[in-house]
Structure 1
């Protein structure tokens, strides 16, 4: 059979608010808040240049159920562009942009097919071959039941069958669990490709048939590290080629810097600047966390002589006039193994107790902040990933503070 070619994207989250970076300079914050739109434009422009047979967008096109007017307008323009180039688009809505939300409606052009709340099977012909695309949109935010049984089994051997599914692998709790499935359930349908959405980490769950998460097209916070984008898929029976196409305008990541034998501030700044420059050359603009390793007693003594906020401020200042811009989100550290061995039982006891806390206990720890009558309205609800980040940062801080004083 002749191969077919399509783009597989998901989780655009257009007009994401990018909370938690308010200390960034205004002109850079504006660039950050435009990044989802620029990533989307990269998807559209690449489609125009490469002319795939069709494009799949698997849920969470918008960041919220109310779908901002601007986000809808930008998406409409992108679809009109693909319509001019006669590129069909198949979309399904996910938990963030479900069908029960309230928004001002836009009429999408004729090249766009929107899947309804019930699983639907759509047929198209590409170079005399039948292609069947199966999918559904979320009726409401919380779709807890498995939907796999509602997908028809593929029986047409001389055709291509593709499933679109915005959902979670059963047992994976990295995101809220919606429309759960198992790999065996998907494989049993005999489809040639499963186009997944919802999980923002790019991953291939199975090779034959391909079961694929492309991840989101633009990181929105520091827990979504690395380059983001979509897959350019060439599908042929038993021979699928997946090419990842980057779209990130700004890359979130961690930069690791060894502080081995560093005892003077100028040495430290040189190491940090070199690491940031290497990141800039490889990734362009970014929001990064500096993670210090090999921190011995001498380095720790040097760093403790000045508040960490001042070190952070100075590093940010060194990057102000450089382009592309790198925003330093935070500085964390690991103390050296030798220094850890010198730590007393107090440090180990505090950390061991903290390591036993579950999410409920962490919620109690931060409850004073989140129940504050003035502050709470400006704070976003914490996810399990956020609590894990708090845990790791608290662990690092305790190691630094207690070991340095014992």
Structure 2
């Protein structure tokens, strides 16, 4: 019977056939231990000389790393394995013998591994990160579908900017100026006026010359937008969503978290509600923690976010930032027009901001004033203004950065390991 490694537990004491690659091996006299992978998981294949043909044992002893094969054998329970099962091999059919595979079990430098990213993805830890990424995506669709949201796909090529044009990739759209999207939010607002509660999931681009471990040039965003919803209600959705994906990863990615040696005790505590701290109080806290030069009106960098997060054991919302350092579309606080109804959600353990969200301006006159203040005079923004002219309602939304969230839940240090083929300041290959 042909099956996969992930399905092996359903075939205990049965003989099965699996297409696999050789991740690693070791041998001891009359027995060979093959570390097999097939994309769905990893399993050890045990080849005993006395139980197989001479040709099969010769193949097992001589097979090279990343050679491909069909392997036949009986699935048995093995309490010593994190997977809980192994295969007692009876036959091997070699498909392709790999020679001089460049990524050996020894240590390699980061640049070498990034140059071979197309192969590095095969490693056990990179495989685990990608599986956790996939689980977050799966859980995202489950959460928003259960909550009555509609999936909408905004364009990647746009004629306008969500937050200013300085960090956008410019391109020509025939005779017009266009940009690669930095956010689908403006379009999601239009979709929310049609469909009520919507979310998007797609790539976004920032032409930001940053080399930090938290930044990518191309990354993926989950962006919900909700009509008839104020900022406080939006914060509750954010708490529920983040709690849901954390618990889904804990439930469905036990092997992957084990492979990454992730301390899951820190994730088991991630359940709503999350603590909140105002921007004002965050400034005070930072001064107490030694950031004496930070002044009201300045944006927070990575060290500031990490210092704030250290005071809490869950993600923390920083609310009500100064209007001058936030996007033009954010609703002013009703009692303090110098700050806006917004929040950034900061992940624990130094992983930084994973969500930015706000209530959006719904008043036409105020939005026209914002247009004038920010010089948004071109025709590309006309449609966005019309959302306030025809049936405007209070509405809120947020965006979650997938790669930072994957990094946090996986426990990996750098976001470049959380996307299959990262685009960095100095990297467009492979």
Which protein shows a greater Rg? Answer: 2
State if a TM-score over 0.5 links the two structures.
no
Q: What is the TM-score normalised by the length of structure 1?
A: 0.28
